[in-house]
Amino acid sequence: MAPRELRRILGVKDRATLWRYLTGMRIPQPKVMQQIIELTNGQVGLRDFLDPASPKCATVITMPDGRVRLILPWSQDPTRHEVIVPGEDFEPRITPPIKRALKALGGRGWFTPTGKVLLDGRVTDLKRLVKAANDNLKADGKDPIPYPGLEPKE
């Protein structure tokens, strides 16, 4: 199925959103995930979006500089549609402030097996993860997590 057709079936308006689903940069919202499960008769589910392996439809190419790239079958220009894949030995280093932030978020934040940081199912950076945790802590009357680039709010 071409991405355009899949996008129409799922009701996804933005091409970039579908691209992020296909390349593992974003996990579909529960409603869209359910549509994907039904459309594929259960062959594709949440586990596939969290799996660090390359998509089965992708051609994996090792560039002369050693980087690994994915080329997807519908790519017209392979240089435009590529995703850098971290090595198998990649494992995120979770520092104490990040551990505290993950705990404060109560399941809203996590790391994928590929080392991406997710907040409410969307790829984010550590600063935004800690900011969201600090918002929760502030609402509970607790001290915020000190983190570079975040100003403590009085």
- Whether residues 152 and 99 share a domain: the answer is yes
- Whether residues 103 and 91 share a domain: the answer is yes
- Whether residues 67 and 27 share a domain: the answer is no
- Whether residues 109 and 125 share a domain: the answer is yes
- Whether residues 81 and 93 share a domain: the answer is no
Residue 37: domain span: 3-51
- Whether residues 152 and 92 share a domain: the answer is yes
Number of domains making up the chain:
3
pTM of the model: 0.43
- Whether residues 94 and 138 share a domain: the answer is yes
Report the amino acid identity of residue 81: H
- Whether residues 64 and 12 share a domain: the answer is no
Domain boundary among 64, 85, 106: 85
- Whether residues 30 and 60 share a domain: the answer is no
How many angstroms separate the CA atoms of 33 and 44, rounded?
A: 9
pLDDT tens digits, the chain, 154 residues: what are they?
A: 777 888 888 998 888 888 788 777 788 888 988 998 888 888 888 887 877 666 666 777 776 777 777 666 655 444 443 444 444 444 445 778 888 998 899 888 877 766 678 888 788 888 999 999 999 999 999 999 998 888 765 4
